[in-house]
Amino acid sequence: MMEELARVVKVEPSGWVTVEVEVKTACGHCSAKENCGTGAIASAFAGKTQQFSIHSSERCEEGELLRLGLPESSLLKAAALVYLMPLAGMLLGALFGKLMAVQLNLASVLGLGADSASILFALVGGVISWRFGKHLARALERETVPVILARLGKSITPDCLTKPA
């Protein structure tokens, strides 16, 4: 289970809680972070947040920190749909294009050789399967719901430390 910290932004009386999660990148964790262009770009876009609503059986307060969990299997399925389906579509498209060029003799009809037809059909197969995989990944994302693993209380901010009790 993948875990992430989230801050409660809004609490609905119906039990729905809007949480905010800071989007993190993997950059900045290696020894080349000072000299890396990718790290510089990632730091320029740092600080972005994502908000979504989840159902909570317990009463939460605004500003409270929650530890959310998301099953790793759903992330792996989505990654496979988005990355492997286009690859499979390209390979099948290339094979189909090669077979079509040989069977229909596309070189004499359209001026396409077997290699050109293979490349053309590979691109078409890759784009179609990428769009289909993206659609399936979005459907999988709608079905996957994060769960609240722990309530961590309110975060300590500098404002809390300076105010007298």
83 against 160, higher pLDDT? 83
- Confidence at residue 30, expressed as pLDDT on a 0 to 100 scale: 66
In three-state secondary structure terms, 67 is: strand
Let me know: does 150 contact 66? Beta carbons within 8 Å.
yes
- Confidence at residue 95, expressed as pLDDT on a 0 to 100 scale: 94
Taking 3-state DSSP, the helix, strand and coil percentages for the chain, each rounded to the nearest 5, stand at: 50, 25, 30
Write down the pTM of the prediction.
Answer: 0.58
Q: Where are the domains of the chain?
A: 2-157
